[in-house]
Amino acid sequence: MNIPRTVDESLSAIKKWEPHIHAFVEVFEDVSVRQDGQLKGLPIAIKENIATTIGYTNASSKILKEYVSPFNATVVQKLLDAGAVVVGKTQQDEFGMGSSTENNGLPPQTKNPWDITRVAGGSSGGSAAAVASGEVFAALGTDTGGSVRQPSAMCGVVGVKPTYGRVSRHGLLAYGSSLDQPGVITRTVRDSALMLEIIAGKDPLDATSTREKVGAYSTSCGQPIAGIKIGIPKEFFAEGIDPEIKKIVQEAIYSLEEQGAIVQEISLPLTPAAIAAYYLIAKAEASSNLARFDGLRYEGSKTNTETLIDYTKKIRGEGFGPEVKRAILMGTYALSSGYVEAWYGQASRVRTLIRKEYEKAFHDVDVIAGPVSPEAAFVFGSKSSDPLAMYLADAYTVPVSVAGLPAMSVPCGMTKNSLPVGLQIIAPHFQEERMFRVASAYEDAHDFKNRTPELPK
């Protein structure tokens, strides 16, 4: 297993891989080596939308191109305090809006290490690609509607989205504040458990982080799963899923029966409604969150306009990319007087129904399992001209986000085209231990963690 454990190993892997995959926006070559703390100098990467005092924090947006954060995000500070070394900042879709990292507002274009003609997924595509290629031990991403789980599935690595409130959002450039959670990406389930233990917990700087006790995620790994009930939502295997993905994921879930798990079909009828509910809420919150970017403090533009309002409109019109502008327009529309009840209000009420639907499902099963994405990594450009198609592909990750539940992606097979497939494991609120237990049981019984992409010629 070529997982780098020192800065030197990391930088030499970065030198080999970066010309092919461009996972990083910035690499910090002169970082000091460390051997202290729980992580003893392990090299990690941080997504561009998470504040670090080293390098830029621009969420891959032109409007924040040269912004340097005066503070570290709580998640970053916790990892530094534990002895991690940040070797670079990774590429993403601008402000996290996208599912392929093709909506990056600043270069370069991240590619999938398994096939460089394909996307790495998104929005944390750079973080997933950096871990998959063995450039870093672990990476931080952010997951609003699947942005950690989906690129992890497409790059064949482990990606964890914690319960909403489990991890501090302080220092994240906000997209949808009621949905955003920082998440970890690693090669193994145990490494993810370790990383989550370090970053989880109450933070006085994030009022939505909770005092709920941080679980013993590492010790949950490897515990037997005999008797654990796993629900398979039939709606996750309905129309729209690639038959090859369906087969691989179903076989993966049923293989857990060999370890004594009880697999049963369940129904989550609101699954198709979750896409509309999710996007209406996320874009509404985004339009509000992004209202703060006026280009006055971080850009120092020499643009000459007569009035302040003209200046703001010009800077925002030029500084945001197409998907971000679309989000602001959609969100402003969904919140505008006369429409707010029909769109945002309805989405919020449907959100309550979706949460209840999951609560009810968890009366009968301990975890829920299914695919992460209806398809494997796709070819560049095949969807970027059709935003709706891109949204619809988030069908299995957004319901979980709307419900605020923890979920993770674990590699569970390869397609005929040698592209990784991810298995999604979903747990009740703050029951991440259950999720790690099942994920590690799956990982231990299979060999996917040892499969790595080959360096492109």
Strand order in the sheet with 367-371: 24-27, 85-90, 43-47, 138-143, 181-186, 158-161, 407-414, 420-426, 367-371, 229-233, 262-266
Tell how far CA 176 is from the center of its chain: 13
CA distance 395 to 312: 35
Of 137 and 279, the one with the shorter C-beta distance to another protein is 279
Considering only CA atoms, which of 408, 5, 376 is closest in space to residue 181?
A: 408
Residue pair 428/356 in contact by the 8 Å Cβ criterion: no
CA distance 384 to 386: 5
Least gap, CB of 42 to another protein (angstroms): 28
Of 178 and 259, the one with the shorter C-beta distance to another protein is 178
47 a catalytic residue:
yes
209 a catalytic residue:
no
Of 67 and 254, the one with the shorter C-beta distance to another protein is 67
Residue of 60, 99, 123, 401 with catalytic role: 123
Of 137 and 278, the one with the shorter C-beta distance to another protein is 278
Least gap, CB of 113 to another protein (angstroms): 32
Residue pair 115/419 in contact by the 8 Å Cβ criterion: yes
For residue 145 the two structure tokens come to: 């509607």
Q: In terms of residues, how long is the chain?
A: 457
**Would you tell me which residues interact with another protein (CB under 8 A)?**
66-68, 70-71, 164-165, 178, 204, 207-208, 210, 270, 272-273, 275-277, 279-280, 287, 291, 294, 296-300, 302, 305-314, 316-318, 320, 322, 325-326, 328-330, 332-333, 336, 342-343, 345-353, 355, 387-388, 391-392, 404
Least gap, CB of 220 to another protein (angstroms): 23
Of 155 and 280, the one with the shorter C-beta distance to another protein is 280
CA distance 395 to 417: 23
Least gap, CB of 176 to another protein (angstroms): 10
For residue 40 the two structure tokens come to: 């003893």
Of 212 and 244, the one with the shorter C-beta distance to another protein is 212
123 a catalytic residue:
yes
Residue of 10, 47, 127, 283 with catalytic role: 47
Q: In Å, what is the CA distance from 103 to each residue of 107, 140, 228, 245, 393?
A: 10, 19, 40, 25, 16
Residue of 147, 152, 218, 440 with catalytic role: 147
Considering only CA atoms, which of 395, 355, 457 is closest in space to residue 149?
A: 395
Residue type, 204: P
For residue 111 the two structure tokens come to: 């590619």
Least gap, CB of 298 to another protein (angstroms): 5
For residue 315 the two structure tokens come to: 């800077």
Expressed in angstroms, the distance from the first to the final Cα of the chain is 21
Least gap, CB of 336 to another protein (angstroms): 7
Residues belonging to the active site: 47, 123, 147
